[in-house]
Structure 1
Amino acid sequence: MEEDKGVVLATERYGSAESWKYFGKDGVMERRRGGGEGQSRGNSIVGVFKSVFLPQGYPESVSDDYLQYQFWDTVQAFSSSLSGTLATQASLRGVGVGNQEATVAGATITWLLRDGTGMLGRILFAWRKGSKLDSEAKKWRLFADVLNDIAMFMEILAPYFPACFTLIVCTAGIFKSIVGVAGGATRAALTVHQARRDNMADISAKDGSQETLVNLAGLLISLVLVPLVTDNPALTLGLFFLFTILHLFANYKAVRSVVMETLNEARLSIVLQQYLKDGRILSPPQANQREPVFMEFRKTVPIKLGVRLQEVVQSPEEFNLALKKNNMPFLLGVKNGCVCVCLGPEASVHDEIRAMCQAVWLSSMLSHPTAGQPPAQQQQTHWELVHESHKLMDTVFNPFLKGVEAAGWDMKRTLLDWDEWRVEWKTKSN
């Protein structure tokens, strides 16, 4: 029977989703599915679903972690939609919906104050933390969702404190504005990671379609939910906590599933410290699994990248100390409890990585200071550590860099949080 099909003239495929063959027989060319006729109808239904909700060329056009991330992102969006319904109902009740004594003017003023404070909060947060959202996308993504749950909880409680209702909803509005900035910006950063064919717009559009479908499902369930929770505070709070737990768990699983191949401060620190410990280079999945996704409040020595020269050295003597044993296009110093890095305009991406490696090593060494030293002696110790970091990196950086590239890390760019200051200096004549 196989011979009756004719001669195979050509084959074609649509990504990995389907394949077709062209047969020629008796002067006629016929196109048939490669997997057999029995799959045609089932595959057409699945194919329509994929074309509507998944990026073109899936799975080759996205990162390997795309499906797992989107699954948990869908779960968190669904639970957040239901929590939002409960919060919205509480806010409407708080501004006077259903209360004959409430005035339209009073409700409008409360709503305007909430929106106005939210706008100010959005501007201030973007000003203070905008540059951090790329380099620490996972942390800020999870932070945004935790803050969103806090804001909704405040909105649910607000009607029970009428004297402070406006203050509570305005504070919640500020929190939600921060959520909007942090959530949207980190979503964009994750889209850059997921796009493997310069298809950011397609991934973003399909993510919007997925979220719309989830919100539609949440809307349908909310139509059943709202009559049940009306005038039932205990049930409202119980369901809210249930949805919140699901929301936070799904968000944690979502950010944990992301495997970024670019180095930020946390991932570089993890990879470098493991290499200095036993010479082993961690792969992107291994390092991402160890990367912290919660905001850390433990005391560490912070690192500032791309600072002004005066934040590194403040005298000709210190300038000479910064140049000692240093032939790199960057200067390191320790000032006011911070490791500061001053970058030259000719520095390459590899130079930036090396500077960060030295800063990470310095930060780890300074996290365990020697007690009882006078300030002058501490400053001298700091410069000795800076010189030691140059000697260490002269020995280990090149093999470390080759190992990192071989392990699958993207070394063409980084997510290190460099500021924009660039300094040119004259090296010593000797």
Structure 2
Amino acid sequence: MENARIKENIGGSRHRYYWESFGKRGFLSTDLMSSGEAVSTWDHIKKWIKDVFLPQGYPDSVSADYLEYQLWDTFQVMCSSLNTSLLLHSTLEASGVGKENASALSATLAWMLRDVSFMFATILFTYAKSTHMSSNCKQWRLFADLANDVALTLKLFSPIIPLPLNLTMSLIGIILALVSAPVVPANTALASHQARRGNLADVQAKNGSQAKLVRLVALGLSAGLISHVSHSFQYKVITSFILMGLHIFANYKAKRIVRIETLNRPRLLILLEKWFSVTRIPSVEEANKSEPLFFGAAYKQNYLPYGFRLKIGSSLREALNSIGETEAFHQFQNLYSSFRHENYMLLADFQKKKIFLMYHENISPEEEFKGFFVAYLCMLHYISMEKNIQIANVNTTGMEKSTPGGEIINKVKTSSHALYQDFRKAAIEKGWKMDPVHLSPDECRYRFTQDDFIQEDEYTRTN
């Protein structure tokens, strides 16, 4: 056997193994990171810390933005933990701790009311918004932290708020529900982005270990902080607001760092807006930096620009109720041949600025993406006619504002194939992933029966 060499990378530590046949010495190993120096005790400690608090295989097993995001996230956890410990003093004071006329029973009932309000509000908020929390994880994670600061502000002023203690505690419980409900799904979605080797559980567990370590440190620091500021309400307010400001800043920086390569509605709209204005696809980093965090498509149901609303995964019944059975029937007649062999279908009421994207039971992520693209292109054609403006890649020849909706959709659908393929190719070249597409559709699905009737399995709810 000839002399052979193998290089391997183990969690950032590189080694070289080589087989030296001459002299029959067998496998020899060299640590390329140590430069021939002996491994010190400090090196062993650093390795142990890395193994305890970072995912196995770091940095190769996680996304490129992992470390920077976790540093800012750790800082915001520190600020939040310090503030929470500081304001526990205010909450206990509002509950009557230290007062001669205070009742343990009344304080217990107040805390129970807070827990009851928290549980009911969490259930209701989860019912209303849970389907959007994963696809718009950055926005909802930021929303949760802002809600947490609102709850802390209420705790801060609870001793002087002229409201019954039970009502104050119930309000705090409701606001904390707005914190609790989005945190788990948003954190899971962010960890899914970070995990690159099927190691989601490991990433989540290590992120949790990092947060617990920070909270332990914060508990130690808060003891000294409370002893210095708790005697003065003014000092307490100033300190709390400084911590809140740092908390919000760190959260914003952390979410801006995340570079998610899959498409949700806000990022897809950014790509489409750039494509139809300057025929260019923004990079993953550019689009993520432009993605709205405090407003826009992540918070507005069925959002499209120009006042349009696009209902994804809509039921035919919902479209009929909005468009009207007569108009919907005419649209269906025009569109049947175009969509008969597609796994999606479009109906629209352009005067009301409503578009309905319906899914076949066999629809794929690629076809979800294509359906959204065609719906967006239909909107641009109508806007071009309504406002009499020219839009790149939009040809309204033979159409006018009074053209029936079915004809507009049919003409756009017929001419959109090449344009869609160009858009898709350009997006992939920029590093975007087409699967999965996080558009948070409703769960209604249709199928064509043998008699060409539409049968639907509808699991939608009206939010």
1:194-213 aligned at under 5 Å gives the runs 194-213=194-213
Is residue 2:384 matched to residue 1:361?
no
Query: Which has the higher mean CA deviation after the structures are superposed, 390-399 or 30-39?
Result: 30-39
Aligned length, in residue pairs: 418
1:90-239 aligned at under 5 Å gives the runs 90-239=90-239
Residue 413 of structure 1 aligns to a residue whose secondary structure is strand
The equivalent residue for 1:265 is: 265
From 314, 325, 330, the equivalent of 1:317 is 330
Residue 424 of structure 1 aligns to a residue whose secondary structure is strand
Distance in 1 (CA, whole Å) between partners of 2:166 and 2:199 is: 44
Is residue 2:434 matched to residue 1:421?
no
Residue 446 of structure 2 aligns to a residue whose secondary structure is coil
Residues 61-98 of structure 1 show CA distances to partners (whole Å, capped at 9, x for unaligned) of 00111111101101110111111112221111111111
Distance in 1 (CA, whole Å) between partners of 2:91 and 2:384 is: 50
Bigger RCO (CA 8 Å, 6+ sep) = 1
From 386, 396, 408, the equivalent of 2:409 is 386
Residue 435 of structure 2 aligns to a residue whose secondary structure is coil
- Whichever residue aligns with residue 436 of structure 2, its letter is R
- Whichever residue aligns with residue 333 of structure 2, its letter is N
The equivalent residue for 2:363 is: 347
Higher helix share: 1
Is residue 2:10 matched to residue 1:14?
yes
Is residue 2:330 matched to residue 1:332?
no
Instruction: Please give the TM-score of this superposition, normalised by the length of structure 1.
Output: 0.89
Rate the CA distance shift 1:158–1:365 in 2: closer, same or farther, 3 A.
farther
**CA displacement at 1:239 relative to structure 2:** 0.7
Distance in 1 (CA, whole Å) between partners of 2:373 and 2:335 is: 17
Query: Which has the higher mean CA deviation after the structures are superposed, 417-426 or 356-365?
Result: 356-365
Query: Which has the higher mean CA deviation after the structures are superposed, 362-371 or 46-55?
Result: 362-371
- Whichever residue aligns with residue 430 of structure 2, its letter is A
CA contact (8 A) 1:9 1:23 kept: yes
CA contact (8 A) 1:23 1:31 kept: no
**CA displacement at 1:23 relative to structure 2:** 7.9
- Whichever residue aligns with residue 347 of structure 1, its letter is I
Distance in 1 (CA, whole Å) between partners of 2:383 and 2:103 is: 58
Query: Which has the higher mean CA deviation after the structures are superposed, 35-44 or 339-348?
Result: 35-44
The equivalent residue for 2:35 is: 36
Rate the CA distance shift 1:11–1:138 in 2: closer, same or farther, 3 A.
closer
**CA displacement at 1:345 relative to structure 2:** 1.6
Residue 412 of structure 1 aligns to a residue whose secondary structure is strand
Instruction: Please give the TM-score of this superposition, normalised by the length of structure 2.
Output: 0.83
Q: Pairwise CA RMSD of aligned residues?
A: 2.8
Rate the CA distance shift 1:15–1:184 in 2: closer, same or farther, 3 A.
same
CA contact (8 A) 1:74 1:214 kept: yes
Once the two structures are aligned, what percentage of the paired residues are identical? 31
Residues 91-123 of structure 1 show CA distances to partners (whole Å, capped at 9, x for unaligned) of 111111111211111001000000000000110
From 415, 429, 450, the equivalent of 1:406 is 429
- Whichever residue aligns with residue 264 of structure 1, its letter is N
Is residue 2:314 matched to residue 1:307?
yes
Distance in 2 (CA, whole Å) between partners of 1:285 and 1:383 is: 38
**CA displacement at 1:389 relative to structure 2:** 3.2
Query: Which has the higher mean CA deviation after the structures are superposed, 409-418 or 241-250?
Result: 409-418
1:245-264 aligned at under 5 Å gives the runs 245-264=245-264
Residues 277-329 of structure 1 show CA distances to partners (whole Å, capped at 9, x for unaligned) of 23222221121121111123798322211111122343432322443644532
- Whichever residue aligns with residue 319 of structure 2, its letter is V
Distance in 1 (CA, whole Å) between partners of 2:89 and 2:376 is: 49
- Whichever residue aligns with residue 14 of structure 1, its letter is I
CA contact (8 A) 2:307 2:353 kept: no
Distance in 1 (CA, whole Å) between partners of 2:411 and 2:116 is: 53
Rate the CA distance shift 1:108–1:428 in 2: closer, same or farther, 3 A.
closer
- Whichever residue aligns with residue 104 of structure 2, its letter is V
Rate the CA distance shift 1:362–1:225 in 2: closer, same or farther, 3 A.
farther
CA contact (8 A) 1:62 1:194 kept: yes
Distance in 2 (CA, whole Å) between partners of 1:169 and 1:263 is: 40
Query: Which has the higher mean CA deviation after the structures are superposed, 302-311 or 316-325?
Result: 316-325
- Whichever residue aligns with residue 40 of structure 1, its letter is V
CA contact (8 A) 1:80 1:247 kept: yes
**CA displacement at 1:53 relative to structure 2:** 0.9
